[in-house]
Amino acid sequence: MKKLLIITVALLIILTGCKTVIEDPDVDLPDIIEKDPEIKGVNISPEKVLAGSGEKVEFKVEAILEGEKTIDITSDMKFSSDTEKISFENNKALVGEDAITGEEHVVIAEYIGAEEVDIDLYATIEVFNSLEDTIDENGVITNPEAYDMVVNKERNLSSQYVPQDLVKLEVETCLPNPEINQLRKAASDAITKMFKTADEEEGLNLVARSGYRSYATQDSLYHGIVNKYGQDYADKYSAYPGQSEHQTGLALDITAASVNYQLEDVFGETEEGIWTKENAHRFGFIIRYPEGKEDITGYLYEPWHLRYVGENLATKIFRQDTTLEEYFMNKE
């Protein structure tokens, strides 16, 4: 299934000095204007199209005439966008490889023909990257650098994958291991803002416990649990190497003094946990493993486990009260 791009079009059309009749379907807009036509309106198509990052979308603009006849005026339109993530070659939009699921961008189609006709078309582009297009035949994720990538028990990161933009956390941490006190730059900046806001708004002191973990670290952790408690226990409470969100550098376990800086379910009932659940999306984070969704996410409830996906996607997931998996499945 192709990646998705949902385009919702809103039109602002101002037509001056126009009246309408057409007999020759091949005549262009200037010729019709010279014949004093009466143009009823302008349509852009497709109004909704399914595509995604790295794909092209071709627009067509038509003038609507009497008798429901139309003429193609696409060549008289200039297409542009309000973001560098959408570029144009004539009427073909190219969605950038860095476009993230949930983002919405404006596309503008402006009439630049010779006649005194003022036509402005505004399109809103919502990006969606299908899960089926971001995994190979071996179940390995092909877009590990994307903020909207999904890793779980069915979607693996390569054992060689290491994020290239890891930085040291600037927030309070409670464990000395330097590896786990790292996140990718965007996630680190976001968590700094979130912790600062929690303090400023409610006087809450959130603490980072565990961020990035390499494949090797997760392998050691997982097999240590297997050796101590058995395979079934390990699969229930830990991620198999390559299936841990911590390897992405986008996941962070947080805690607080109210739970003695541990990772406990009761964190979700504390002031810190409640504030986090209600506000994390403002900074691009989701509660990755919410309560009651174990059959979907594959993991038990973890109110402390945050995953950075960007503000747009995080807000949509929060408002829909859903999981990352469900958001993608509902769009497929």
DSSP state of 83: S
Which residue shows structure tokens 């996140």?
183
Concatenated DSSP letters of 161-216: ---TTEEE--S-BS---TGGGEEEHHHHHHHHHHHHHHHHHH----EEEE----HH
Q: What is the CA radius of gyration of the chain?
A: 25
302 classed as catalytic: yes
Query: Which tokens sit at 245?
Result: 């969100």
Residue 134, CA distances (Å) to 139, 147, 180, 241, 332 in order = 9, 12, 27, 19, 13
Phi, psi angle pair for 129, to nearest 5°: -105, 110
Which of these is catalytic: 302, 311, 325, 332?
A: 302
Nearest to 64 by CA among 112, 11, 1: 11
Which residue shows structure tokens 């779980």?
152
CB neighbour list of residue 89: distance below 8 Å, 6 or more residues apart: none
Helix/strand number for the chain, H first, E second: 8, 16
Give the whole-angstrom CA distance, residue 2 versus residue 57.
12
Concatenated DSSP letters of 273-311: HHHHHHHGGGGTEEEEE-TT-HHHHSS--EEEEEEE--H
Query: Which tokens sit at 274?
Result: 């409640």
Cα of first residue to Cα of last residue in the chain, in angstroms, is 8
As annotated, the active-site residues are 302
